[in-house]
């Protein structure tokens, strides 16, 4: 199973925000996008989705920026990935044209079980778990803002 680009970006942004030092100078979406090497437009969409899910708090204006919420830091990674990816079929049984085996296929059920096992393996983890050494120090190195 391969995560969508949006989920990949969302997880990287959450990890980046998890290592903020709490100085109150929250990074902007543009700064996080640059640090993580993703296009700003993609990052903006992802931040909007993460905000809607309660994972990120986005403040506008002077002194604004992004912050990971407590739920975003300690919540289940499996739940977050389920929300971001959706739990639809791994294969397109009902695509156009639909698969001729769909009425009697055992592959669809096996793939659904495999997908759930993938999510279940992530359930006990949190973003906080992902930012320990050696990842955390690398993320901290990405937190420096460009000089004006």
DSSP letters spanning 64-117: -EEEE-HHHHHS-HHHHHHHHH-S--SS-TTSSSPPTTTTT-SHHHHHHHHHHH
Instruction: Express each pLDDT in 2-59 by its tens digit.
Output: 889 999 999 999 999 998 865 566 899 999 999 888 999 999 999 999 999 999 999 8
> Residue 63: its pLDDT value, please?
75
- Report whether pLDDT(144) > 50: no
Q: Which residue has the higher pLDDT, 6 or 132?
A: 6
Q: Does the 5-86+126-141 domain belong in CATH 1.10.10.10?
A: yes
> Residue 44: its pLDDT value, please?
95
CB 127 within 8 A of CB 72: yes
């Amino acid at each position: 199973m391969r995560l969508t680009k949006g989920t990949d970006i969302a997880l990287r942004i959450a990890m980046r925000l998890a290592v903020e030092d709490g100085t109150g100078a929250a990074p902007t979406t543009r700064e996080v996008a640059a640090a993580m090497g993703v296009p700003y437009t993609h990052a903006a969409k992802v931040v909007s989705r993460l905000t809607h899910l309660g994972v990120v708090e986005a403040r506008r204006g002077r002194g604004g920026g992004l912050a990971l919420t407590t739920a975003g830091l300690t919540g289940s990674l499996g739940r977050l990935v389920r929300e971001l990816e959706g739990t639809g079929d791994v294969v397109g049984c009902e695509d156009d044209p639909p698969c001729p085996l769909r009425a009697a296929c055992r592959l669809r059920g096996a793939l659904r079980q495999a997908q759930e096992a993938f999510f279940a393996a992530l359930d006990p983890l949190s973003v906080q778990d992902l930012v320990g050494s050696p990842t955390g120090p690398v993320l901290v190195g990405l937190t420096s803002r460009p000089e004006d």
